[in-house]
């Protein structure tokens, strides 16, 4: 069985720094991290491989040429191959152009399943998996929480899907795109000690537009159907701060505050 996982690297928003003087997020210092939903998808793929070791798991990501340490770390797990799709022409692609690029690559591959995340934390449109499915002419399902591994190995995808809190069961014909939601069900395996400093460059292949042969007007800003008309940084105004003591009164105050704001 061949599984291709689409993985996106996003700025690690939890650890992003804030320049208090200029009142802006310091994006350039932000570390990259694997989009959590995608990590669950890859963890599920590696679980399949653990059960059926002849499974091949390939990860595909789109981004700038420099192969990040995070990408190498994924390949230090039991991943067979890493494809980095990178070309100056692709810069500025919206979700539609991105789907077209990824679709062009995937068309050349014969995967039994494509695993993706449902949302990405930074864009959060959920467009890409469905659009790729459209391009490839195969089924796709969002918000998958679990997958029956035994059935999958027999060529059938039985999916448990989160539908606004309810769990629904679906069966999908393969090949298809299974888009996971972040969950604890599938946990990324640890990197083995011996593999920590392993050179994984032989597992990486870089694809450019020379390989994918898309027309210039189909990709990048020109190929994008949507346009970002304006971006703005959320104003962060200085809030009044109240310091309470670590006593009953202080605890009560914090409790009431959280309750008032709907956190409790």
Partner 1 sequence: MKTKDLLRELENMLTKDQINTDEEDLYDASADRYKKYAKVRRVLDVPKPQAIVYPNTAEEVSKLLKFCNENKINVIPRSGKTATEGGLENWKEETIVIDAKNLNKTIKIDEYNMQATVQAGVVLGELEEELRKRGYTTGHSPQSKPVAKMGGLVATRSIGQLSTLYGGIEDMVVGLECVFPDGHISRIKNVSRRAGGPDIRHIVIGNEGALCYITEVTVKLFKYFPENNEFHGFLVKDMDTGIKVLREVMVNGYRPSVARCYSEEDAKQHFYHFYKDHCVVIFMAEGNKEIAEATGKGIEMAAEKFKEGIVEKVDSGLLEEWFENLNWSQQDIDDEYEGMLENDSHTGFTTEVSGDWETIIKIYHNVMKRIKEEYHRVEDLTLLGGHSSHSYINGTNMYFVYNYEIHCAPEDEMRVYHHPMQRIIVEETLKLGGSMCHHHGIGKFRNEWTKEEHGSAYYMLEKLKESFDPNNIMNFGTIYPQEEGEKYQK
Minimum CB distance to partner 1, residue 197 (Å): 6
CB distance 93 to 101 below 8 Å: yes
- Give, for 128, the enclosing helix (H) or strand (E): helix 127-136
Residue with smaller CB distance to partner 1, 108 or 241 = 241
Residues that bind partner 1 in the complex, under the rule CB under 8 A: 15, 20, 31, 69-70, 73, 190-193, 196-197, 241, 243, 245-246
Residue with smaller CB distance to partner 1, 228 or 242 = 242
Minimum CB distance to partner 1, residue 128 (Å): 26
Within 8 A by CB and 6+ apart from 20, the residues are none
CB distance 78 to 57 below 8 Å: yes
Residue with smaller CB distance to partner 1, 31 or 215 = 31
- How do beta strands 140-147 and 157-163 pair? antiparallel
**Cβ neighbours, 10 Å, residue 50:** 12
Minimum CB distance to partner 1, residue 201 (Å): 16
Q: Which of 37, 38, 41 is nearest to 7 (CA)?
A: 38
Residue with smaller CB distance to partner 1, 123 or 189 = 189
Minimum CB distance to partner 1, residue 73 (Å): 7
Minimum CB distance to partner 1, residue 4 (Å): 23
CB distance 172 to 182 below 8 Å: no
Residue with smaller CB distance to partner 1, 190 or 232 = 190
């Amino acid at each position: 069985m061949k599984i291709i996982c689409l993985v996106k690297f996003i700025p690690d928003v939890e650890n992003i720094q804030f320049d208090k003087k200029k009142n802006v997020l310091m994006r350039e210092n932000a570390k990259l991290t694997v989009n959590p939903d995608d990590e669950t998808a890859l963890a599920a793929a590696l679980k399949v491989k653990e059960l059926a070791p002849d499974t091949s798991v390939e990860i595909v990501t789109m981004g700038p040429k420099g192969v990040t340490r995070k990408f190498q770390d994924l390949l230090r797990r039991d991943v067979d191959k890493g494809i980095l799709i990178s070309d100056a022409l692709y810069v500025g692609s919206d979700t539609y152009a991105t789907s077209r690029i990824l679709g062009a690559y995937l068309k050349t591959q014969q995967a039994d399943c494509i695993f993706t995340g449902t949302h990405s934390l930074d864009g959060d449109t959920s467009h890409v998996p469905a659009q790729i499915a459209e391009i490839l002419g195969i089924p796709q399902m969002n918000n998958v929480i679990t997958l029956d591994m035994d059935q999958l190995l027999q060529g059938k995808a039985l999916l448990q899907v989160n539908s606004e809190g309810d769990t629904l069961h679906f069966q999908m014909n393969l090949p298809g795109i299974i888009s996971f939601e972040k969950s604890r069900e599938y946990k990324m395996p640890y990197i083995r000690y011996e593999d920590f400093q392993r050179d994984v460059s032989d597992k990486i292949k870089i694809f450019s537009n020379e390989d994918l042969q898309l027309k210039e007007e189909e990709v990048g800003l020109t190929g994008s159907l949507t346009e970002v008309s304006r971006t703005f940084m959320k104003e962060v105004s200085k809030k009044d701060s109240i310091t309470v003591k670590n006593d009953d009164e202080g605890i009560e105050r914090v409790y009431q505050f959280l309750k008032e704001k709907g956190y409790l």
